[in-house]
Amino acid sequence: MDCIVTGGNVKVLAKAIHSLSRIGDELYVEPQEDGLALRSVNSSRSAYACFLFAPLFFSRYTVHSGHTFRCKMAIKSVQAVFRSLASLEKTVEKCHIELDDQNNRLTFTLHCKHGLMKTHNLSFQDSESLQAVFDKDSYANVFRSHPRLLVDTVMHFPPSLEEVTVSVSDERMWVRNHVEEEGDQSKAMLTELCLASDEFDHFAVQAHNSVTFCLKELRGLLVFAESTGLPMSMYFDEPGSPVVLSVTDSVLEGNFVLATLSDDPNHRKKNNSRRTHTRPPPPPDDFMNDDIDSYLIAMDTSVAPGSSATGPPTPPLSQDKDTQPPNKKFCSLFFGSVLPPSSQMSTQPVSSQQVLASDSEDDVQ
């Protein structure tokens, strides 16, 4: 792999990396024919982000076809290369990223003003591909707006707020903080914001759904979108299926995919207040600490044509029992196989090929 980023795009790349760092600790790098994919996932596999930079984003972009190179590295090391955004803009003229095969290093060279060159040799680990399965274009509800709208919305919530619930009707969107119904409910402050459809550039609702997801992981994307001014799109479907936020322009595409709380029909409470959406019963503890096995779906590297594409994407739940753990969990995201190069190689698979497989992290590509 060998590519060069010049001018203002260096800062864009840096910002993308910083926003990925809000999701997980590792950066997955995969140079593909249709562009460079940078991805990250959180430890509980409930948040995933991917930036795909098209070849045109770079002033030079060469990928060795045939030898698929994939790696992951500590995101903090990459952030260290692009540490100060302000000085990047002023001093860096171009950034050269090159794979040093012999020493197993990825070399980042910043060509700065006055002939100064900063070279960072970062070590990496081979990794399998990280690709979440989602098909945002099939989701029932789609919205697009200037990022300012979402930033202004999020501002009303405290920075420490974890979970937020978004509900929609034909003309309105409500955003409120999600409070667990057990525990210290009586002392929690509830905040709700109501947005009208004409504040959005695009507001298409097919299902009056309500989804709950973690706001913290989204803030990285908000910062990126606001600084680049790119319109943000939001896609969601039923509770349980992920919410996807994207920014797109001609040379890059960023997708942040967050798992949402799933609704267990046995426990669904109908809320007959003026807001006619349902309030799903919340998980008892911090979902990050829930038993990972019950909803962790790991990545699969093999092409499995006849593998069981099982039905609904809910993890095995103890629905028959009335005991702990309760039936409310964040549905994890699905990570699908990497299909052969001939088919799609974008950030999202074309079809909903959902594959459940055991954790194959030990596999070398």
**Does 303 sit near another protein (CB under 8 A)?**
no
Q: Which is nearer to another protein, 184 or 322 (CB)?
A: 184
In 161-192, which positions are buried (b, 16+ CB within 10 angstroms) versus exposed (e)? bbbbbbbbeeeebbbbbbbbeeeeeeeeeeee
**Does 189 sit near another protein (CB under 8 A)?**
yes
CA dihedral 109, 111, 115, 118 (to 10 degrees): -40
Coil, strand or helix: which one is 144? strand
Binding mask 119-148 for another protein (x = CB under 8 A): ------------------------------
Rg (CA), the chain: 21
**Does 188 sit near another protein (CB under 8 A)?**
yes
Among 87-95, 186-194, 239-247, 297-305, the segment contacting another protein (CB under 8 A): 186-194
- 190-229: contacts with another protein (CB under 8 A): 190-196, 198-199
Binding mask 154-173 for another protein (x = CB under 8 A): -xx-x---------------
**Does 292 sit near another protein (CB under 8 A)?**
no
Q: Which is nearer to another protein, 66 or 158 (CB)?
A: 158
- 249-288: contacts with another protein (CB under 8 A): none
**Does 113 sit near another protein (CB under 8 A)?**
no
User: Structure tokens of 312?
Assistant: 């609904």
User: φ, ψ for residue 225 (rounded to 5)?
Assistant: -65, -40
262-268's contacts with Cβ under 8 Å and 24+ in sequence apart are 262/314, 262/328, 262/329, 262/330, 262/331, 263/238, 263/239, 264/317, 264/319, 264/327, 264/328, 266/319, 266/327, 267/326, 267/327, 267/328
**Does 117 sit near another protein (CB under 8 A)?**
no
**Minimum CB separation from another protein for residue 22, in Å?**
22
Name the residues that contact another protein, by CB under 8 A: 155-156, 158, 185-196, 198-199
